[in-house]
């Protein structure tokens, strides 16, 4: 069964996504929001205030965490609905930004939801991995800037829908592959690389882990490049590919040193049978 904060998040995400999708898709309410000054900003802002007050009063238990989780889940539900709005109503050279918003909201919300399922005792607001590093924020903002500049100067570039569709497919498959890895590894999965082996930590080699040693990184790698293909951002496609590759190469090296310490020969044998999954990344080859 889903843990308490998992339920709070699911409720907030779905209710917000549905309410705002209906509002945005309904011509009358949309017109109303547009007609009142700043309606498209004040409407959502009021909604957040009401939701926060409700959560504060209804969910008293474990208040601090529930509140933090609810705010983020509502924000992601809103971002998803706004993505639908942009897709349907924005000019054709901005439409794909709506796809990007939908993909981002789904990825970050499902990170939290899956962690709430597999690690109910360890799940925190950080499990949304929204703002997990300065590099991640810089990468996201750079892609928005590139999109804005190119949309203005080369609007036709952003209407290559067949190319954006390729990116969308990469994002969906990458995200599904990552979530399959998390659900396969269950309590052995952690957003951080652990340095000390817990008693119940076992080596997972079945399911998607039989296809590659680092399926969640493989999924994230292709998902991140896919986001830039959706936006048809040539510079960021190249930059994301290089930076993500370097990041996962380093991460896998460090993680495999810890895994060899934990599981010894068992991990060596696993390395012999199965590749890392990231092109041209070998990992830390054992010499046992």
Ligand X SMILES: C[S@@+](CC[C@H](N)C(=O)[O-])C[C@H]1O[C@@H](n2cnc3c(N)ncnc32)[C@H](O)[C@@H]1O
Among 255, 271, 278, 283, binds ligand X (CB under 6 A): 255
When asked if residue 215 is in the footprint of ligand X (CB under 6 A), the reply is: yes
Q: Are 129 and 191 in contact (CB under 8 A)?
A: yes
> To the nearest whole angstrom, how small is the minimum distance from the Cβ of residue 252 to ligand X?
7
CA distance 24 to 81: 8
Longest dimension (CA), the chain: 71
When asked if residue 276 is in the footprint of ligand X (CB under 6 A), the reply is: no
When asked if residue 209 is in the footprint of ligand X (CB under 6 A), the reply is: yes
When asked if residue 180 is in the footprint of ligand X (CB under 6 A), the reply is: no
Choices 134-142, 208-216, 221-229, 278-286; region in contact with ligand X by CB under 6 A: 208-216
Choices 2-10, 80-88, 161-169, 186-194; region in contact with ligand X by CB under 6 A: 186-194
When asked if residue 179 is in the footprint of ligand X (CB under 6 A), the reply is: no
When asked if residue 247 is in the footprint of ligand X (CB under 6 A), the reply is: no
Among 95, 190, 234, 257, binds ligand X (CB under 6 A): 190
Is residue 274 exposed (0-12), middle (13-18) or buried (19+ Cβ within 10 Å)?
middle
Which of these, 165, 164, 179, lies nearest to 216 by C-alpha position? 179
Residue 238 or 254: the one with the smaller Cβ distance to ligand X is 254
The count of residues interacting with ligand X (CB under 6 A) is 18
CA distance 132 to 247: 14
Residue 61 or 206: the one with the smaller Cβ distance to ligand X is 206
Residue 93 or 276: the one with the smaller Cβ distance to ligand X is 276
When asked if residue 203 is in the footprint of ligand X (CB under 6 A), the reply is: yes
CA distance 288 to 165: 46
Which of these, 43, 15, 164, 48, lies nearest to 103 by C-alpha position? 164
Residue 146 or 255: the one with the smaller Cβ distance to ligand X is 255
Choices 3-11, 16-24, 129-137, 185-193; region in contact with ligand X by CB under 6 A: 185-193
Among 20, 112, 147, 217, binds ligand X (CB under 6 A): 217
For 175, the 3-state DSSP assignment is helix
Strands (E) located in 116-215: none
When asked if residue 238 is in the footprint of ligand X (CB under 6 A), the reply is: no
Which of these, 211, 78, 231, lies nearest to 144 by C-alpha position? 231
Which of these, 188, 203, 176, lies nearest to 262 by C-alpha position? 203
When asked if residue 149 is in the footprint of ligand X (CB under 6 A), the reply is: no
CA distance 171 to 179: 12
Buried b (16+ CB within 10 A) or exposed e, 18-57: ebbbebbeeeeebeebeeeeeeeeeebeebeeebeeebee
When asked if residue 216 is in the footprint of ligand X (CB under 6 A), the reply is: yes
> To the nearest whole angstrom, how small is the minimum distance from the Cβ of residue 209 to ligand X?
5
Interface residues with ligand X (CB under 6 A) are 181, 185, 188-191, 193-194, 203-204, 209, 214-217, 255, 258-259
């Amino acid at each position: 069964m889903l843990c308490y904060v998992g339920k709070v998040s699911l409720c907030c995400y779905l209710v917000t996504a549905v309410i705002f999708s209906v509002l945005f898709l309904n011509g009358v309410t949309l017109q109303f929001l547009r007609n009142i000054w700043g309606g498209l900003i004040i409407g959502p802002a009021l909604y957040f205030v009401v939701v926060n007050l409700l959560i504060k009063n209804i969910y008293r238990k474990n208040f601090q965490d529930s509140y933090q989780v609810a705010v983020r889940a509502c924000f992601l539900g809103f971002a998803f609905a706004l993505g639908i709005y942009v897709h349907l109503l924005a000019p054709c050279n901005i439409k794909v930004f709506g796809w990007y918003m939908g993909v981002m909201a789904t990825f970050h919300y499902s990170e939290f939801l899956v962690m709430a399922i597999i690690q109910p005792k360890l799940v925190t607001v950080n499990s949304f991995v929204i703002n997990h590093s300065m590099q991640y924020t810089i990468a996201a903002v750079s892609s928005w800037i590139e999109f804005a500049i190119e949309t203005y100067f080369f609007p036709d570039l952003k209407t290559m829908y067949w190319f954006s569709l390729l990116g969308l497919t990469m994002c969906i498959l990458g995200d599904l592959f990552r979530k399959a890895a998390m659900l396969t590894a269950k309590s052995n999965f952690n957003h951080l690389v652990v340095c000390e082996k817990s008693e119940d930590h076992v080596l997972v080699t079945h399911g998607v882990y039989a296809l590659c040693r680092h399926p969640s990184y493989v999924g994230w790698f292709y998902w991140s490049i896919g986001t830039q293909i959706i936006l048809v951002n040539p510079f960021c496609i190249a930059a994301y590919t290089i930076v993500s590759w370097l990041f996962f190469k380093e991460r896998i090296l460090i993680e495999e040193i810890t895994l060899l310490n934990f599981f010894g020969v068992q991990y060596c044998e696993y390395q012999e049978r199965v590749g890392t999954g990231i092109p041209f990344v070998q990992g830390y080859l054992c010499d046992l």
